[in-house]
Amino acid sequence: MAEATLVAIPGLPDVRPGMSLPDLLVRALERAGLRPADGDVLVVAQKVVSKAEGHLVDLATVTPGDEARRLAREAVKDPRLVEVILRESTRVVRAHHGVLITEHRLGFICANAGVDHSNVGLGPEVVSLLPRDPDASAGAIRDAVHTAFGVPIAVIINDSHGRPHREGAVGVCIGAAGLEPLLSLVGRPDLYGYTLRTSVEAVADELAAAATLLQGQCDEGTPAVLIRGIRIAQGPGGAARLLRDPSRDLFR
């Protein structure tokens, strides 16, 4: 019987800037008796990565520029927050009452360029940014697990993003190491021998979404989830593979 399990790794401390998240994860796995195996996927929430790496801004230290002030009026937002969002972004997609959607410098199109107040806990005006290089963050965790357990697992950094056409946010992959984020079935036969012509599955996003179901944003906060039993393809990773070239984006 094909079966997969998702385990929320218990015992992670409150992550603070300067802590080594790879070490904390290795120790939490050891304490929980969770021995990673080949083919496992460790999904870690962006928020704790950013906190450990100190990728944070205290809004009290920010002076908004002219563009941020103008956009803050349009979006009805704190101009200092808008200033931080603009610094993280390459373009503004949409500004509307309470909502600012931009393209993050890493290519993700999401609300507030991923700049977020929630689950930071380091002061009333401290916000978190997305990690500087989420693929590298995933790679560092992968290396630490490999060193500690001798097993080359896959690692995904996930975040929750809103999306066009559909309500609600879903977990998506913003950093990946050790797996192919996309699984192409093009050219393979289906169950009846029909050759699949267009099927490419965003496996890394589906793993990210599955982990989000266990991570929790409120009291239950368990930012790291070990997924076992899903057949993944090993590969170098790289979440940019999941970004659609705008010129080929027919779904917009």
Q: Please, which of residues 185-244 interact with its own copies by CB under 8 A?
A: 185, 188-192, 194, 196, 198-203, 205-207, 209-210, 212-214, 217-222, 229-230, 241-244
Question: Is 200 in contact with 185 (CB distance < 8 Å)?
Answer: yes
Q: Which of 37, 76, 99, 233 binds its own copies (CB under 8 A)?
A: 99
Q: How far is the CB of 23 from its own copies (least distance, A)?
A: 20
Q: Using CB under 8 A, which residues numbered 161 to 190 contact its own copies?
A: 162-172, 181-183, 185, 188-190
Quote the CA–CA distance of 154 and 227 in Å, as a whole number. Answer: 10
Binding letters toward its own copies, positions 33-72, x by CB under 8 A: ----------------------------------------
Q: How far is the CB of 177 from its own copies (least distance, A)?
A: 18
**C-beta of 140 vs 223, nearer to its own copies:** 223
Quote the CA–CA distance of 88 and 77 in Å, as a whole number. Answer: 16
Quote the CA–CA distance of 172 and 89 in Å, as a whole number. Answer: 18
Q: What is the DSSP letter of 215?
A: H
**C-beta of 147 vs 190, nearer to its own copies:** 190
Q: Which of 16, 31, 69, 96 binds its own copies (CB under 8 A)?
A: 96
Quote the CA–CA distance of 114 and 236 in Å, as a whole number. Answer: 24
Strand partners, 227: 6, 41
Q: Give the chain's end-to-end CA distance (angstroms, integer).
A: 39
Dihedral of CA 124/130/133/136: which sign?
positive
Quote the CA–CA distance of 131 and 154 in Å, as a whole number. Answer: 18
Give me the residue label for tokens 């002030």.
69
Q: How far is the CB of 143 from its own copies (least distance, A)?
A: 25
Q: Using CB under 8 A, which residues numbered 115 to 154 contact its own copies?
A: 117-121
90 sits near its own copies (criterion: CB under 8 A): no
101 sits near its own copies (criterion: CB under 8 A): yes
Question: Is 131 in contact with 141 (CB distance < 8 Å)?
Answer: no
Give the interface size with its own copies as a residue count (CB under 8 A). 76
Q: How far is the CB of 202 from its own copies (least distance, A)?
A: 3
- As to burial, measured by CB atoms within 10 angstroms (0-12 exposed, 13-18 middle, 19+ buried), residue 181 is buried
**C-beta of 146 vs 170, nearer to its own copies:** 170
Q: How far is the CB of 64 from its own copies (least distance, A)?
A: 20
